[in-house]
Every structure is written in structure tokens, then in C-alpha cells.
């Protein structure tokens, strides 16, 4: 399965920090910068959708900072490195940093997790979202950032049969039974993640601005739907 882990992490962080200096960032005309979270059932085409979103949003909002995509691997990578995280936080003006610290307090009240890596990961997600112009895939981003008004939260779903077919394309399984066993394991892992860290199940429909059936929509079509929804909300 494709991930964003092969991206130049240092380059992404450096580019975003330069953007903070160049623009009135994270505010534009007094409004916070938009961001997107994508929650998805296993097998959905979140990676391709996110990369297409970044390209299209960067093109239609070219007067501002660039957009970037962050999947769970990249978020965890930054969370494990003190230097990368602190470079982003230290780049904030003092006033923005105070607001960010207030957001962190709210986030810490929303999770029951005592897992230090998860808390650091949530801080990274919060920081990325605070600076805006980011597509954040997974890791409960829509819950961590639920109190931030400039977020657009997307859920990607699909019937299990379709997700099994996707898993078969992405992995070299010897049988349909192996594919189903793997998908069931990934679904169970996701359920355990939300139960442990948030004391709730994943995927409540009322948590999202837009729910899309990936089995009926291509990544390109989903990108158009997301951008249309953002326009309706006045986020682009």
C-alpha cells in the first residue's frame, strides 16, 4: 500500500516554516487557514485522494502557502523527533503559540490515552492543522481537531466486498480467505485504536462534513466533491 513515508520530511517542514515567514500565517485576512482530515475504512483510496487534493488545492489557492499531505506514518515520524516538532512550534508568533497551547489543553481533555507517543502524535496533528493548508489522513485527526472551525472532515467508506478486492490488488494474498482475514484484522485494529485512545467507536456520521462511498467514486471524483463542499463552507 502506498504511503507518504517516502516524502522528504525535512523538506516538507522547511517549506512550511518558510511559508510562515512569507505569509500572514496561519491567518489570512483575519481568518484561520483551512485544513482537511480524512478518516477511512481500510482499503479506501485515501493516499491517492490526498495527493490529488494537495495538487488541485495548491493550484486554485496559489496566492497563499502550499498544501501538504500527512499520513499516519509521516505524523508518527515527526512525533518521534523532538527537533522537527519543536521547529514547527517555535516558528509560531507568540500570540499564535498561546492559542495553540490552549487548543492542546482541550485536546488532552478529549482523550483518555496515557500513551506518550499518541499524545505527541496528537500534538503534531494539532500543530499541522493550526497552521492549515494540510490534508491529514487517519489517526483520529477529525476528533483531535473537532474544535477547530477551519477544518473540513471527510469520511471514506466502502462495502466490505469492494475493500477485499482492493486489498487483493495491494497485497499478494494466496486466497480470498487470507484477504478477508487481513481486512478483518485491520478493521479490528482501527476499532481498538479509537476505543483505547478516545473511549468511543470510530466513524460516527455526525462527526463529518462529507461521507463518501469510495466504491462508487474515483479519487478524482472525490477530490471534486471535497472541494465543492469546502467552497460551500467558505473554506476555499
> What CATH number does residue 181 fall under?
3.40.50.300
Domain count, the chain: 1
Q: Any idea what DSSP says for residue 26?
A: S
Domain for residue 47, yes or no?
A: yes
pLDDT at 22: 62
User: What pLDDT sits at residue 119?
Assistant: 77
Q: Is residue 17 part of a domain?
A: no
Q: pLDDT tens digits for 195-218? A: 888 888 887 888 999 999 999 999
Preceding omega of 64 cis (within 30 degrees of 0)? no
* 128 vs 137: CA distance, rounded Å: 12
Grid cell at residue 50: 490526498
**CB count in 10 Å sphere of residue 116:** 9
Predicted TM-score (pTM) above 0.85: no
Nearest CA to 201 out of 140, 157, 137 is that of 140
Domain that holds residue 70: 33-229
Residue 5 covered by a domain: no
In a domain, 224, yes or no: yes
Q: Does 172 reside within a domain?
A: yes
Indicate whether 28 belongs to any domain: no
> Under DSSP, is residue 27 helix (H, G, I), strand (E, B) or coil?
strand
**Would residue 89 count as lying in a domain?**
yes
Q: What is the pLDDT of residue 5?
A: 47
The set of cell numbers assigned to 153 is 472532515
Q: Which residues of the chain have pLDDT under 70?
A: 1-14, 16-30, 62, 73-97, 99-100, 102-114
For residue 189, is it within any domain? Answer: yes
Amino acid at each position: 500500500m502506498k504511503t507518504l513515508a517516502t516524502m522528504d520530511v525535512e523538506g516538507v517542514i522547511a517549506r512550511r516554516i518558510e511559508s510562515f515567514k512569507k505569509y500572514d500565517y496561519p491567518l489570512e485576512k483575519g481568518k484561520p487557514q483551512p485544513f482537511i482530515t480524512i478518516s477511512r475504512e481500510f482499503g479506501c483510496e485515501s493516499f491517492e485522494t490526498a495527493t490529488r487534493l494537495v495538487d488541485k488545492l495548491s493550484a486554485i489557492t496559489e496566492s497563499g502557502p502550499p498544501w501538504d499531505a500527512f499520513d499516519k506514518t509521516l505524523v508518527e515520524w515527526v512525533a518521534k523527533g523532538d527537533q522537527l516538532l519543536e521547529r514547527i512550534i517555535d516558528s509560531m508568533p507568540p500570540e499564535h503559540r498561546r492559542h495553540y497551547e490552549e487548543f492542546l489543553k482541550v485536546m488532552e481533555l478529549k482523550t483518555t490515552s496515557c500513551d506518550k507517543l499518541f499524545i505527541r502524535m496528537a500534538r503534531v496533528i494539532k500543530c499541522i492543522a493550526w497552521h492549515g493548508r494540510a490534508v491529514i489522513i487517519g489517526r483520529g485527526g477529525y476528533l483531535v481537531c473537532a474544535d477547530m472551525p477551519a477544518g473540513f472532515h471527510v469520511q471514506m467508506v466502502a462495502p466490505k466486498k469492494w475493500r477485499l478486492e482492493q486489498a487483493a490488488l495491494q497485497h499478494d494474498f494466496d486466497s480470498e480467505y487470507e484477504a478477508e482475514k487481513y481486512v478483518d484484522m485491520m478493521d479490528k485494529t482501527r476499532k481498538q485504536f479509537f476505543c483505547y485512545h478516545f473511549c468511543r467507536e470510530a466513524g460516527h456520521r455526525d462527526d463529518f462534513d462529507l461521507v463518501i462511498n469510495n466504491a462508487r467514486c474515483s479519487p478524482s471524483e472525490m477530490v471534486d466533491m471535497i472541494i465543492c463542499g469546502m467552497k460551500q463552507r467558505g473554506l476555499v
